Structure 1
Amino acid sequence: MNQISTPANISQTALVERFGDIPKLVMFDLDGTLVDSVPGLAAAVDGMLIDLGCKPAGVDLVRRWVGGGQWLLVQQALEFAGLPEADYLDAGVKGFRKHYAQCSDQGLTLFPGVKAFLEFLHQNRIAMAVVTNKPIDFVPKILESLGIDHYFPETLGGECLPEKKPSALPLEHMMARFSVTPEQSLMVGDSSNDLLAAQAAKVKSLAVTYGYSRGVDISQFPSIWLGDDLSQLCA
């Protein structure tokens, strides 16, 4: 179990002002929050569709589908292709995973302000973890390829527990790993899944506006900050 030391001499930043104290643990969603992963996801979806004899969907369409996990992503790709889910879903997910294993790091970029925010938390000894609905198999390669894996001693994927976000269970599990309370924790995300999970776990949240919200207005969910650049919280 990971133990957390008290952060050292953190100034009165916007993060502290909004949170009301110094958080001991900050949990991050991955896709759409830390990382723009659509190029690799689109390549995997298109590879799967081509294997099934269909035309590719392309990056713009896939960007609108991302945010609900691999099963929903494949479901929407099959709907686009006119293939019945009952007959093709299992094969589609298998094909998607096969291709994504080869291209998950394709075109990856960090969103603006992410690296500065991670370094700010690291310098102030605030623990960080990734809590994503993405299959855990793909997470290490993505973090390593962007050079941010050292910030995250713990990562949790969508199939690691019986329930995934918007359930509170993944956040509760991670808080237990670090021996912290909901009052000491913070969730950062881009979608209703992230913000509903935080609400269910009684954890405060930061909401980013640039991610994969699937058309849902995330301003309707309670969060202590809503913005497009996490580095704004460092000042």
Structure 2
Amino acid sequence: MRRLFDGNDPALVLFDLDGTLVDSVPDLAVAIDRMLAALGLAPAGVARVRDWVGNGAPTLVRRALHGELDVSAATFAPGRFEQAYALFLQFYGESTAALSTLYPGARECLDGLAARGVLLGIATNKPMCFTTEMLQGLGIDGYFQVVIGGDSLPTCKPDPAMLLSAIEQCGATPATTLMVGDSSNDIRAARAAGCQVAAVPYGYNHGEPIEASAPDLIVARLDALL
């Protein structure tokens, strides 16, 4: 990580949540399958949900209803999406962090960066209510100076607005900030914000290798950043 900042630590490290710090798909898949069952539809299963996450809860629900990753041409009966989304919010709210786990090396990374005085933040497309519940449920909420969720601002990643807002709130600059994520959305947002960006290869990138998005650094585990 220090190689990206002329041998120094960055002032601020922003983390994506789902697929970067936390494997959240088990809880998401339960909520999606409960939603589909309530609508009389077949379950999606963990493997398909793993490919569908990463663009926020509304897009995940649309993909589940459509049964495909690409929903650009999807159409739904009037009120169908709203009904499904309300069910998803209910079911996911009942179990946001019961099955989700921190990835190996995640807590060690947070501990190490915090001990060195690096400011830490979350920039995720997950709605804030679920983000807060997940951070608290996993016992990592105390690490972060700033947390921005998918409904905190009018836009989500890959738009850079949430990164720029977090940077401003922490008194950092894009040049002294590292974004850490698992998807092309994270890398595109960091590039647009003017930040250096590191990526993990194990997350949720719709089945595409993260190398194709050309991050500045790829680490097999987050504690390799230290």
1:96 paired with 2:83, answer no
Give distance in 1, aligned partners of 2:98 and 2:203: 18
Give distance in 1, aligned partners of 2:22 and 2:36: 24
What is aligned with 2:66? 79
DSSP-derived class of the 1:214 partner: coil
What is aligned with 2:15? 28
1:116 paired with 2:108, answer yes
Return the letter of the residue paired with 1:226: I
**Pairwise CA distance, 1:64:** 1.6
Residues 84-130 of structure 1, C-alpha deviations (whole Å, 9 max, x = no match): 52431111111111100001112111111111111010100101010
Return the letter of the residue paired with 1:151: Y
Return the letter of the residue paired with 1:48: M
Return the letter of the residue paired with 1:17: R
Give the one of 205, 208, 211 matched to 1:213.
Answer: 205
Residues 178-197 of structure 1, C-alpha deviations (whole Å, 9 max, x = no match): 11111110100001111000
1:133 paired with 2:121, answer no
**Pairwise CA distance, 1:142:** 0.6
What is aligned with 1:148? 140
Give distance in 2, aligned partners of 1:119 and 1:35: 15
Return the letter of the residue paired with 2:45: G
In structure 1, stretches of 5+ residues that fail to align are: 1-14
Residues 58-90 of structure 1, C-alpha deviations (whole Å, 9 max, x = no match): 212211211121112111111129x95243111
Give the one of 46, 49, 53 matched to 1:66.
Answer: 53
Q: Which runs of 4+ in 1 moved over 6 A?
A: none
With 219-228 and 66-75 compared, the bigger mean Cα shift is at 219-228
Give the one of 174, 183, 188 matched to 1:182.
Answer: 174
Aligned length: 219
Q: Is the 8 A contact 1:191 1:211 kept in 2?
A: yes
What is aligned with 1:54? 41
In structure 2, stretches of 5+ residues that fail to align are: 69-73
Return the letter of the residue paired with 1:23: P
Tell me how large the CA RMSD over aligned residues is. 1.5
Give distance in 1, aligned partners of 2:51 and 2:215: 23
DSSP-derived class of the 1:85 partner: coil
User: Identity over the aligned pairs, expressed in percent?
Assistant: 41
Q: Is the 8 A contact 1:78 1:84 kept in 2?
A: no
Give distance in 1, aligned partners of 2:49 and 2:216: 30
DSSP-derived class of the 2:199 partner: strand
Give distance in 2, aligned partners of 1:18 and 1:203: 10
Give the one of 15, 38, 43 matched to 2:30.
Answer: 43
With 216-225 and 142-151 compared, the bigger mean Cα shift is at 216-225
Give distance in 2, aligned partners of 1:204 and 1:107: 32
With 212-221 and 144-153 compared, the bigger mean Cα shift is at 212-221
What is aligned with 1:6? none
